[in-house]
């Protein structure tokens, strides 16, 4: 199990009440699941629309994490 730095943006940040945290998980899916457990229903609802990037690159749920990886959750941006 790895410890990753979690960066949250937009609605994900609002739902969690923080922009940064640390989460454990062997994969992106496990790290996101840990964040959902920590931050609750509203965050879980937002998480399903987020793109996830690891160390600046798009990453699928099965992407294996290593200690210190940076996991960014980016919801869609609406403009006007």
Residue 31 C-beta-side C-alpha neighbours within 13 Å:
34
Predicted structure pTM score: 0.93
1 confidence band (pLDDT: 50, 70, 90): confident
Under CATH, what is the fold of the domain 2-74?
Answer: Ubiquitin-like (UB roll) (3.10.20)
What does the pLDDT look like over 22-34, one tens digit per residue?
A: 999 999 999 999 9
Q: Calculate the alpha carbon distances from 64 to 34, 46, 51 in Å.
A: 15, 22, 16
Residue 55 C-beta-side C-alpha neighbours within 13 Å:
8
What does the pLDDT look like over 19-68, one tens digit per residue?
A: 999 999 999 999 999 999 999 999 999 999 999 999 999 999 999 999 99
**Sign of the alpha-carbon torsion through 44, 51, 6, 11:** negative
């Amino acid at each position: 199990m790895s410890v990753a730095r979690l960066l949250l943006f937009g609605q994900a940040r609002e739902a969690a009440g923080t922009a940064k945290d640390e989460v454990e998980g062997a994969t992106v899916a496990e790290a996101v699941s840990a964040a959902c457990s920590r931050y609750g229903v509203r965050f879980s609802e937002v998480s399903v629309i987020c793109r996830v990037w690891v160390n600046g690159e798009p990453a699928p749920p099965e992407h294996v994490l290593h200690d210190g990886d940076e996991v960014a959750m980016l919801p869609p941006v609406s403009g006007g």
